[in-house]
Structure 1
């Protein structure tokens, strides 16, 4: 059940707004350094990345392109956050950590330190959250008592999963019908 929840929680992956991948990436920051030789760009200061419904905010964002043209990014902040609309639903995924890494080749997202991911009313907290879309594998790890937060005072992994809403029975009378 937790794996199913996490697969729906992670950004830019299985349930994210599919049209976002076709949208241009817009970046805002106080400054940027571009190194064409190393194929890296480093954005610093109140960084905001927008691509369709995806919004990532942080203090610093490093984007690297590998030899095959895949994008890899690392966002840093205190915290760094993301928010993205779920595909075909009027619902958003959002999350936070001190660092968020995305591997475009492996389609893998990792959130580090005081991490949490939320979809609707479901939420998971941990010191490390990883989702690998290709392997359909998720992992949440606690950092023990040294990683305690107000949401996880003992530093343990914590998840809150709401019960599924049952569909209304067709043809059944309304509750206030005599």
Structure 2
């Protein structure tokens, strides 16, 4: 919905739209990198956006980039709502032939959660991220893929750091949930293979 009084007001500039969106969304954050919750959230977009300040409903369009600390989400469109108790929910959707992306550093380690889907639903109160449609979520150690989950629906619980996945029409996994899990101890894995050297010795 659009503010009833907006018709009589001059159209705000893109810079003003971005500043209003930033001010409205500051509490948005996740538990993965705890410091992110204390950072400003910024929003960039290319196209006309609608900000209903009365109902706390914001729709941002065109090459949208939402970032807060180490958290970055990219989409064609983002729709954000604020609950009466100050929490935010965000629904990000992809454009034709594109995907929505999510990336955030894990707290205390050099690892990132990196994912993509046709649609992402983010809830700052429950601290969950839902990847919907051709979903792929990876845990990266630096730039190397440690674990990977694919499915039609993947839910990531930031508080518990737990994934749940469901199958469906997913070209990458032929309709099935697929998980690829790296050994927890790379040194032990290397020693189990005759003639193999641990990464530190190469």
* TM-score bracket, shorter-length normalisation: 0.7 to 0.9
Higher-Rg member (1/2): 2
Q: CA RMSD in A?
A: 2.2
Q: For residues 135 and 20 of structure 1, what CA distance do their matches in structure 2 show?
A: 17
Q: Per the alignment, in what secondary structure is the counterpart of residue 50 of structure 1?
A: strand
Alignment match, 1:148: 170
2:58 is aligned, of 34, 41, 54, to 41
**Please, which runs of 5 or more residues in structure 1 have no aligned partner?**
1-11, 169-173
Q: Secondary structure at the match of 1:47?
A: strand
Q: What are the equivalent positions in structure 2 for 1:51-130 lying under 5 Å apart?
A: 51-77=68-94, 78-120=98-140, 121-130=146-155
> TM-score, structure 1 length as denominator?
0.78
Structure ranking higher in helix proportion: 2
TM-aligned CA deviation for residue 139 of structure 1 = 2.1
Q: Which has the higher strand share?
A: 1
Higher relative contact order (CA 8 A, sep 6+): 1
Displacement after TM superposition at 1:50 (Å): 1.1
Aligned length: 153
Aligned to 1:139: 164
Distance 1:50 1:164 in 2: 30
Unpaired segments ≥5 residues, structure 2: 1-28, 141-145, 189-196
Matched, 1:21 2:37: yes
The offset of 1:105, in angstroms, is 2.1
